[in-house]
Amino acid sequence: MRAVTLKVQTIRELSKNLSVDLDKVISKYPTEEFAGRLTRQMAEDSLKEDISPELETILNQVCDLPFLKDKRTPVDYGLDLIYGWLMEDIAIQYLIDHGFKPDKSGSDAGRVFLKDFQITANSDITINGHHFDIYFDSGNLWYDQNGMDVRESKWNALRAVNGSILCFSRAGVGLVHTFQHNDFGIWENPAWGFKRAVVVNDMRDRLVPPWVMAFSLSNFLGLSDFERLGGESKWKIYET
């Protein structure tokens, strides 16, 4: 299976597993012609078996960034950006649906194709003042290999603000706190152009069903079910 096809499949599975309407997520992107931001048409085109020539031209123009794209072509790098934004926005909608109020805080919060000098290591979102990055596993590697790689620069930036990582995969949803661990290994990941990566171990034990993660995250943030769900029964969102 092509990497693109696998990632599209992951996006659709993620929206299904988190009970998030993918069309609703895409509908929030602007409809005007491309002006540096991800548009609704571009998001829709990226999910097709063969991307349109128009999207390919745009990505070749705005995503030829050697330091960031590693060994990928500009089109592959651009598609990875779009897929990452789609998955991140699905995860954000999941949080909203479960009563949280996430604020996008990353340099790409506006879903803008940035130049390398414009990209920062800011966390993806904040909730109640806590910083979170959002990570995804397209190939179920976290479960199979029982580990997750995080770019050292991102890990250090997140750790500097006592941040955490929300991890989404087919096997479940996990929460990793950077401030609780000192013994993770570091290696040079060839898939990332031999950039240094921090290895998070025991991922199988960290992955739980989405509804369990909602309550775990509430406890971490110090929110009661009453506060998180606006006074509704804590079971209401799971009733059929």
Query: pLDDT tens, 157-182?
Result: 999 999 999 999 989 999 999 988 66
What single DSSP character describes residue 24? H
- As a whole number of angstroms, the distance between CA 19 and CA 81 comes to 23
Q: With a cut of 80, say whether residue 57 has pLDDT above it.
A: yes
Alpha carbon separation from 139 to 5, 18, 114, 144, 232 (Å, rounded): 11, 17, 27, 9, 37
What single DSSP character describes residue 106? S
Domain boundaries, the chain: 1-105
Q: With a cut of 70, say whether residue 69 has pLDDT above it.
A: no
Beta bridge partners of residue 127, listed in sequence order: 130
Contact 87, 10 (CB under 8 A): yes
Return the H-helix or E-strand segment holding 164.
strand 164-169
Residues 6+ apart with CB under 8 A from 4: 76, 79
- As a whole number of angstroms, the distance between CA 1 and CA 5 comes to 7
Contact 123, 108 (CB under 8 A): no
Q: With a cut of 50, say whether residue 238 has pLDDT above it.
A: no
Query: pLDDT tens, 81-116?
Result: 999 999 999 999 999 999 999 999 988 899 999 876
- As a whole number of angstroms, the distance between CA 116 and CA 75 comes to 16
pTM: 0.86
